A and B are shown apart, each in its own frame.
Chain A
Amino acid sequence: MEQTLEITQSLIQVSAIISIIGVSLSVMILLYRVIKGPTNPDRAVALDIFGVNIMGLAGIIAILLVSTQFNDVILLIGILLFIGTIALAKFIEKGVIIERDMD
């Protein structure tokens, strides 16, 4: 039983680390897209996915550290990403984020 538990534990650890490396690689590739562009919408989308990756990363790290403290962080990243991407999209589309005229 205990042996099973240990194996499970190391299995989780190893898969977590593999996941981190995978996510990191994805982050690297996204970074290339963010820097290279070529247009700003490309960068905006890349940044959005970058955020999603970070959400995943935070989750994996929470598993790795055996902690529930980062659940807030994950949720917050989700909300902020949504807001940020909307703002970016609005900016790219209209040039303003907050419109003065509501008509």
Chain B
Amino acid sequence: MLLAVLLPFIIAIFIPFLSKWKHKLHTGFFVTAVPVVIFIYFARFIGPGFEPVEREYSWIPSLDMNFLFYLDGLSLLFILLISGIGSLVAFYSIYYLHKSEQLGHFYVYFLLFMGSMLGIVLSDNVYVLYTFWEFTSLSSFLLIGFWNHREGSRYGALKSMLITVFGGLSLLGGLVFMSGITGTASIQEMMSQQELILNHDFFPLILTLILLGAFTKSAQFPFHIWLPDAMEAPTPVSAYLHSATMVKAGIFLVARFLPMLSVSEWFFIIVSAVGIATLCWGSYMAVRQTDLKGILAFSTISQLGMIMAMLGFGTKAAIFAAVFHILNHATFKGSLFMIAGIVDHETGSRDIRKLGGLMTFLPITATLAVIASFSMAGVPFPFLNGFYSKEMFFDAAVTMDLSVTGIAATLQTLFPYLAVLGSIFTFVYSMYFFFGTFRGKANIDELPKKPHEAPAGMLVSPAILVLGVIIIGLFPDLINKPFIEHAASAAYGSENVKDIYYWHGLSPAFIMSITVLVFGTILYLSIPKWASIYNAVPGRLSLNTFYDGLVERTERYSTIITNSYMNGSLGRYVRLILVAIVVVTFGTMALTGGFTLDFGNVSEVTLHEVLIAVVMVIAAIGTIIAKNRIAAILILGVVGYGLAMLFVLYRAPDLALTQLIVETVTVALFLLVFYHLPNLEPHHESSLTKAMNLIISVGYGLLMTMVAISAHSHKMFDTMSSYFVDNSYKLGGGDNIVNVILVDFRGLDTLFEIAVLGIAAMAIFGLIRLRGKNKEE
């Protein structure tokens, strides 16, 4: 099983080599073999007596991250969708993508995506699940931006990346919480401890985080905005990622955690309300689109909303319908995308306003399109699978009888009406898609190409999918017992069996279907009359404007914030640093009671110390107010000599010697440099800045004084200086304790201080010698 998941990744490594011969043999042929093999491998599991299979492969056992694969009915359904539609899309892409395209890149991304999708649906370990989840976001980003010379592709790729990665990170948060609470990373084991999670204080947070992940990935309202922009991708990508697989990852996630989370009433409220809102909004907006793929994108959003709503209902019938509709939607939507690709390929345009009357030019495509779009609309013919699942959806919405109160109860009574409303628009856009493209007046002269039927190879994949539509429609039991039942049971958490009939009496659901049919036809025929409503709703209000504004404003405000303090002035940075030090240190010391003033063990102050200190203070203040640069350095010299004198007073002859030499050399150095400096110019600083500088410097000085006094008052241990006094001659062989410490006890410090001086010398040499070298070159 591990090999099956990793096979796409392994093959992806070899694709660059294989694509070298793309002019002899289209790389797509190699790639098509991969999902076919995976499909055959997993198809063996189909059967009435299916039992879940579990496999474990070590990855990072110490962190509880292992490739733990759990194959139940739900995973199997998704795997077969991924690999089955993957084979068809790969085959379709052979005819869609010309050999002059960068096939190597395309198929590497494609295989990466397929492998990660398989990883998501098979993983039982949450960390592995998340890893694959982000892999799909990444490969989807690469695929949407495949034609990266186009502005639209880059915009769409970035948008989908930002939104899905935002969701992915929330998902990670939710998963980490759950795994932290239960102490395991395995989803199945989490399920068995569901009480622990449900009763935990963080449960609302976990629910929100996980649902955010699922909603962003599955393009639910209001995160659906990335999907229409992802239509800039090549059509096989749209067909594969944005109809059949990636957008269903969120659905899969919700279905996977359904047995655990659906106990909560909020799960019902959030998931079904968001699902129904997405259904209505998506189908409403689809009618407005003029691009074939735009219609299909909003249609996908709306269908995903419908599935999400059914999962939200959480009843037996609803979940069965949801699982059934996942399969049905993948079949008809995949084929519709491929049909849109064929139309684009053969006429050079996807604009429905230019298209029309293509039925006589593309008869086979038109036949496929009529079946797929009628199935999407839910037209009650016995050979259309879309009708069955839509009928089940109505049935579930009507018969839903949860003992709930409050908001949930209101929603429950509202849902059937909203479901019908959404489905009416679904009907309208399905008709609009088919009739607008294939019927009506043909205006061939406006099209960039003269339309003619697509090559046979291009038609194979949609034909197989449409065949699937018909087979499921005619013989629903063929896949029900061995396949759908297991998936529905896995999603529901216990056995979920249902028979699928075409005719089940004059039930409310059937009446709803007829209502949809009647109102849908009326609305479709009168589109020109009511289309102006789109100017009012949504009018100018659009989530895209909001998103663009958000991205643009984030950048603008970040720039403003950064520029507000990063103005390049060293003075300001130093001020900020000092203020931060003063505030933080003062705050910490004051809060923890760190300031203590203890004058108990202070030595006596002598007159000459005071005199020298006074001299130094006066000199230091004189330095600040000096108007002349040389005067300032000379006055600073007084401070330096005063310090040397203090060293003398405190019996530190070595320090005094060094201090004197350093002071003299510094003064000399200053004089050397001053020669090259321009004369001091009057410094124009506002009095406010000056006052601020004064406050900050006084504050900093005060702080340091307080810290020094407190540190002295807090003497907790004796110093270790007695050790040096006792041992400097015995161990070090010297009377000068300072020097013995410098070169013997603590010689390493001296070594590196020598190194510092050496580096400084070399740096000065380099600065002087290399000055202006670059200018000459």
Q: Does the CB pair B675–A80 fall under 8 Å? A: no
Interface positions, chain B 593-645, Cβ under 8 Å from A, are: 607-608, 611-612, 614-615, 618-619, 622, 626, 628, 630-631, 634-635, 637-638, 641, 644-645
The SS class assigned to the A binding surface is helix
Q: Does the CB pair B619–A34 fall under 8 Å? A: yes
- Measured in the bound complex, the distance between the Cα atoms of B374 and A57 in whole Å is 108
- Measured in the bound complex, the distance between the Cα atoms of B634 and A31 in whole Å is 11
B44 contacts A by Cβ under 8 Å:
no
Q: Does the CB pair A47–B668 fall under 8 Å? A: no
Give the B interface residue count (CB, 8 A): 34
B540 contacts A by Cβ under 8 Å:
no
Cβ contacts under 8 Å, B667 to chain A:
84, 87-88
Q: Does the CB pair A31–B675 fall under 8 Å? A: no
Q: Does the CB pair A40–B641 fall under 8 Å? A: no
Which of A24, A50, A77, A84 touches B668 (beta carbons < 8 Å)? Answer: A84
A74 to chain B minimum Cβ distance, whole angstroms, is: 9
B24 contacts A by Cβ under 8 Å:
no
Q: Does the CB pair B648–A87 fall under 8 Å? A: no
- Measured in the bound complex, the distance between the Cα atoms of B611 and A27 in whole Å is 9
A17 contacts B by Cβ under 8 Å:
yes
Which of B608, B626, B638 touches A50 (beta carbons < 8 Å)? Answer: B638
Contact string against A for B residues 23-56, beta-carbon threshold 8 Å, 1 for contact and 0 otherwise = 0000000000000000000000000000000000
Q: Does the CB pair B671–A97 fall under 8 Å? A: yes
A28 contacts B by Cβ under 8 Å:
yes
Q: Does the CB pair B608–A84 fall under 8 Å? A: no
Cβ contacts under 8 Å, B635 to chain A:
34-35, 43
B653 contacts A by Cβ under 8 Å:
yes
Interface positions, chain B 672-698, Cβ under 8 Å from A, are: 672, 675
- Measured in the bound complex, the distance between the Cα atoms of B631 and A47 in whole Å is 11
Cβ contacts under 8 Å, B675 to chain A:
91, 95-96
B116 to chain A minimum Cβ distance, whole angstroms, is: 70
Which of B608, B615, B630, B657 touches A31 (beta carbons < 8 Å)? Answer: B615
A67 contacts B by Cβ under 8 Å:
yes
B36 to chain A minimum Cβ distance, whole angstroms, is: 84
Interface positions, chain B 68-123, Cβ under 8 Å from A, are: none
B73 to chain A minimum Cβ distance, whole angstroms, is: 90
The SS class assigned to the B binding surface is helix
B191 contacts A by Cβ under 8 Å:
no
Cβ contacts under 8 Å, A51 to chain B:
641
- Measured in the bound complex, the distance between the Cα atoms of B634 and A67 in whole Å is 31
A98 contacts B by Cβ under 8 Å:
yes
Which of A24, A35, A65 touches B619 (beta carbons < 8 Å)? Answer: A35
| Contact of A44 with B661 at beta-carbon distance under 8 Å, contacts A31-B619, A73-B656, A97-B672 already known | no
Cβ contacts under 8 Å, B649 to chain A:
61
Cβ contacts under 8 Å, B614 to chain A:
28
- Measured in the bound complex, the distance between the Cα atoms of B622 and A43 in whole Å is 13
Q: Does the CB pair A17–B607 fall under 8 Å? A: yes
B273 to chain A minimum Cβ distance, whole angstroms, is: 80
Cβ contacts under 8 Å, A6 to chain B:
none
- Measured in the bound complex, the distance between the Cα atoms of B622 and A31 in whole Å is 9
Cβ contacts under 8 Å, B651 to chain A:
65, 67, 69
Cβ contacts under 8 Å, A80 to chain B:
660-661, 664
Q: Does the CB pair A24–B612 fall under 8 Å? A: yes
Which of B615, B648, B653 touches A28 (beta carbons < 8 Å)? Answer: B615
| Contact of A34 with B607 at beta-carbon distance under 8 Å, contacts A73-B660, A76-B657, A84-B668 already known | no
Q: Does the CB pair B634–A34 fall under 8 Å? A: yes
- Measured in the bound complex, the distance between the Cα atoms of B630 and A54 in whole Å is 22
Cβ contacts under 8 Å, B644 to chain A:
54, 73
B597 to chain A minimum Cβ distance, whole angstroms, is: 29
A100 to chain B minimum Cβ distance, whole angstroms, is: 12
Select from chain B the residue with minimum beta-carbon distance to A94: B675
Contact string against B for A residues 23-66, beta-carbon threshold 8 Å, 1 for contact and 0 otherwise = 01001100100110100100110010011001001100100010
Which of A40, A70, A95 touches B648 (beta carbons < 8 Å)? Answer: A70
Cβ contacts under 8 Å, B611 to chain A:
20-21, 24, 27-28
Cβ contacts under 8 Å, B608 to chain A:
17, 20-21, 24, 57, 61
Select from chain B the residue with minimum beta-carbon distance to A64: B608
Cβ contacts under 8 Å, B668 to chain A:
84, 87, 97
- Measured in the bound complex, the distance between the Cα atoms of B656 and A65 in whole Å is 16
B740 to chain A minimum Cβ distance, whole angstroms, is: 15
- Measured in the bound complex, the distance between the Cα atoms of B286 and A92 in whole Å is 87
Select from chain A the residue with minimum beta-carbon distance to B610: A24
A11 contacts B by Cβ under 8 Å:
no
| Contact of A31 with B648 at beta-carbon distance under 8 Å, contacts A37-B631, A73-B660, A87-B671 already known | no
B754 to chain A minimum Cβ distance, whole angstroms, is: 21
Select from chain A the residue with minimum beta-carbon distance to B637: A47
Cβ contacts under 8 Å, B671 to chain A:
87-88, 91, 97
A7 contacts B by Cβ under 8 Å:
no
- Measured in the bound complex, the distance between the Cα atoms of B611 and A47 in whole Å is 17
Q: Does the CB pair A21–B607 fall under 8 Å? A: yes
A2 contacts B by Cβ under 8 Å:
no
Cβ contacts under 8 Å, A69 to chain B:
651, 653
Q: Does the CB pair B637–A31 fall under 8 Å? A: no
Q: Does the CB pair B660–A76 fall under 8 Å? A: yes
A72 contacts B by Cβ under 8 Å:
yes
- Measured in the bound complex, the distance between the Cα atoms of B637 and A80 in whole Å is 12
- Measured in the bound complex, the distance between the Cα atoms of B668 and A98 in whole Å is 10
Cβ contacts under 8 Å, A95 to chain B:
675
Q: Does the CB pair B664–A34 fall under 8 Å? A: no
A70 to chain B minimum Cβ distance, whole angstroms, is: 6
A15 to chain B minimum Cβ distance, whole angstroms, is: 14
A12 contacts B by Cβ under 8 Å:
no
Cβ contacts under 8 Å, A40 to chain B:
628, 630-631, 634
B246 to chain A minimum Cβ distance, whole angstroms, is: 74
Q: Does the CB pair B615–A76 fall under 8 Å? A: no
Select from chain B the residue with minimum beta-carbon distance to A90: B671
Which of A17, A21, A34, A61 touches B622 (beta carbons < 8 Å)? Answer: A34
Cβ contacts under 8 Å, A27 to chain B:
611, 615
Cβ contacts under 8 Å, A14 to chain B:
none
| Contact of A58 with B657 at beta-carbon distance under 8 Å, contacts A35-B635, A95-B675 already known | no
Cβ contacts under 8 Å, A91 to chain B:
630, 671, 675
| Contact of A98 with B607 at beta-carbon distance under 8 Å, contacts A35-B618, A65-B651 already known | no
- Measured in the bound complex, the distance between the Cα atoms of B645 and A21 in whole Å is 14
Cβ contacts under 8 Å, A88 to chain B:
634, 667, 671
Q: Does the CB pair A72–B661 fall under 8 Å? A: no
- Measured in the bound complex, the distance between the Cα atoms of B653 and A87 in whole Å is 25
Cβ contacts under 8 Å, A47 to chain B:
634, 637-638
Q: Does the CB pair A44–B612 fall under 8 Å? A: no
- Measured in the bound complex, the distance between the Cα atoms of B612 and A28 in whole Å is 9
Cβ contacts under 8 Å, A54 to chain B:
641, 644-645
Q: Does the CB pair A73–B637 fall under 8 Å? A: no
Q: Which residues of A contact B (CB under 8 A)?
A: 17, 20-21, 24, 27-28, 31, 34-35, 37, 40, 43-44, 47, 50-51, 54, 57-58, 61, 65, 67, 69-70, 72-73, 76-77, 80, 83-84, 87-88, 91, 95-98
Query: What are 17 A-to-B residue pairs whose CB atoms are below 8 Å?
Result: A24-B608, A24-B615, A31-B622, A31-B638, A34-B634, A34-B638, A35-B619, A37-B628, A51-B641, A54-B641, A58-B656, A72-B653, A73-B660, A76-B657, A80-B664, A83-B664, A87-B671
A-B contacts besides A65-B651, A84-B667, A88-B667, 17 pairs, CB < 8 Å: A20-B608, A28-B615, A31-B622, A35-B626, A40-B634, A51-B641, A54-B644, A67-B651, A69-B651, A73-B644, A73-B656, A76-B660, A80-B660, A84-B664, A95-B675, A97-B671, A97-B672
